[in-house]
Amino acid sequence: MINLELIKNELEVNGYSPVIHKIKNKEILFFSLEDKDRNPLMNTVSNIVSEKGIITLTYFAKLIDVQKEFKTVEELLKFVRQVFPIED
């Protein structure tokens, strides 16, 4: 089973702002990029769930929600860095 806490820590190290919420006995990891005032940037709020060994990322492309599945944390993080790059 893939641990959302591990993914949360990796996202924090990479500059994202993750938080885990428990909704109806299901853990969901939400994350986003933030502006200088620590407010989430539009179109960067996404969520991750892990079920049966599959990590599912839900994010928005324009106004359409998109789901992408990953088998490893490394694949997920690589994709997140490509879709939501951290700007210096």
Is residue 48 scored above 90 in pLDDT?
yes
Full domain range(s) for residue 16: 4-83
Is residue 6 scored above 90 in pLDDT?
yes
Is residue 82 scored above 90 in pLDDT?
yes
Residue 14 lies in a domain: yes
H-assigned helices in 1-88? 4-13, 73-83
Is residue 83 scored above 70 in pLDDT?
yes
Residue 88 lies in a domain: no
For residue 88, the model assigns a pLDDT of 61
Rounded distance between C-alpha atoms, residue 42 and residue 82, angstroms: 17
Residue 70 lies in a domain: yes
What would the mean pLDDT of 3-10 be, rounded to a whole number? 94
Residue 53 lies in a domain: yes
* CA 79 to centroid of chain Cα atoms: 10
Residue 54 lies in a domain: yes
How many structural domains are present in the chain?
1
Residue 11 lies in a domain: yes
Residue 32 lies in a domain: yes
Q: In which band, very low, low, confident or very high, does the pLDDT at 62 lie, cut at 50, 70 and 90?
A: confident
